[in-house]
Amino acid sequence: MSATTKLLLGSVLCHKLGKVRLTRSMHTHPALLSSFRSSKEVQSLEQYLEVEPIENAAAWKFVERLLPPPTVPRPVAKADYPSGWQPQKSDGSDSSYFVARTKNHMVPVYLHTCFRGQRRITVVRRVQGDIWALEKDLRSVVEQARNGKLCASRVNELSGQIHIHGDYVDILREHLKAKGF
C-alpha cells in the first residue's frame, strides 16, 4: 500500500518538476557559466564577416608590450636614481656579514606592528654571515638615534633575522644602503 502511494507521489512530483523546469526554461536566459556555454551555436558561414589571420603583423609589437615579463626584470645601471633607491654595491667581502636584497631588489627592512599598533618592531631579514657583528652595528646606529639610550634587540641566528624594538626602519634602511647592501 505504502509503496504504491510512494510511487504515485513520485510520479506526481516528477510531473510537477517537469512542468517547473519547462516553465523556467521558457522564462530565463541560459546560465552564463562560461563564455563557451553562453556563446551562440555556429551558424552557416555566409552569415559571418570574412576575416584573415595576419602573421608578422606590424601591430604585433603593441601586443608584446601588453604581455607581462615572466620574471622580475634586472635593474639597469644608471648615473643616478632620483627615488633614493640604489642597487646593491657590496658583495659582503669587506665585512663579516651580508644582507641580501629581496626578489624585488629592495633592502629587507620591515616594520612589524602588533597590539593595535602599540608595539613596533623593526625586522632586518636575509642576514648572512656574522649576524652578531651586524646586530652590534645596528644597535649602535639605533642607540645613536635614541640619544644614547639602550635599545632592545633579538637575533634569530637560524632564520637570519634581527628584531629591534621600535620603529627604526628608515634609519636602518639608509644605514644598510650606505654600507652598500
Partner 1 sequence: MAHLRETSDKALKLLRTLPRVQIGNLRPNPNSKQNDKRGRAQHGGDKHGAGNKGSGQRQNFMRLGYETGNQPFYLRFPYEPYYKGHHMKRQYPPISLLQLQVLIDTNRIDISQPVDISTLCNSGLLKLKPAEMEYGFQLTDEGLDNFKAKINIEVQHANEAVIAAIERNGGVIRTAYYDPRSLHMLANAKKWFEKGVPIPYRMMPPQDAMDYYTDAKNRGYLANPEEISKDRLVLAQKYGYQLPRIEDDSAYEMLSATKDPRQVFYGLEPGWLINVVDKTIMRRKK
The site for partner 1 (CB under 8 A) is made up of 35, 49-57, 59-63, 65-69, 72-76, 78, 81-85, 104-105
Interacting residues of 105 by C-beta distance below 8 A, sequence separation 6+: 72, 75, 85, 87, 88
Closer to partner 1 at the Cβ: 3 or 51? 51
The CB-of-29 to partner 1 minimum distance in angstroms stands at 19
The CA-atom distances, in angstroms, between 47 and each of 26, 40, 44, 54 are 27, 13, 6, 22
Closer to partner 1 at the Cβ: 18 or 60? 60
Adjacent-strand bridge partners of 114: 119
Closer to partner 1 at the Cβ: 26 or 49? 49
Closer to partner 1 at the Cβ: 82 or 148? 82
Contact 138, 152 (CB under 8 A): no
The CB-of-103 to partner 1 minimum distance in angstroms stands at 10
The CB-of-81 to partner 1 minimum distance in angstroms stands at 4
The CB-of-35 to partner 1 minimum distance in angstroms stands at 6
Contact 109, 100 (CB under 8 A): no
How far apart are the C-alpha atoms of 9 and 4, rounded to whole Å?
8
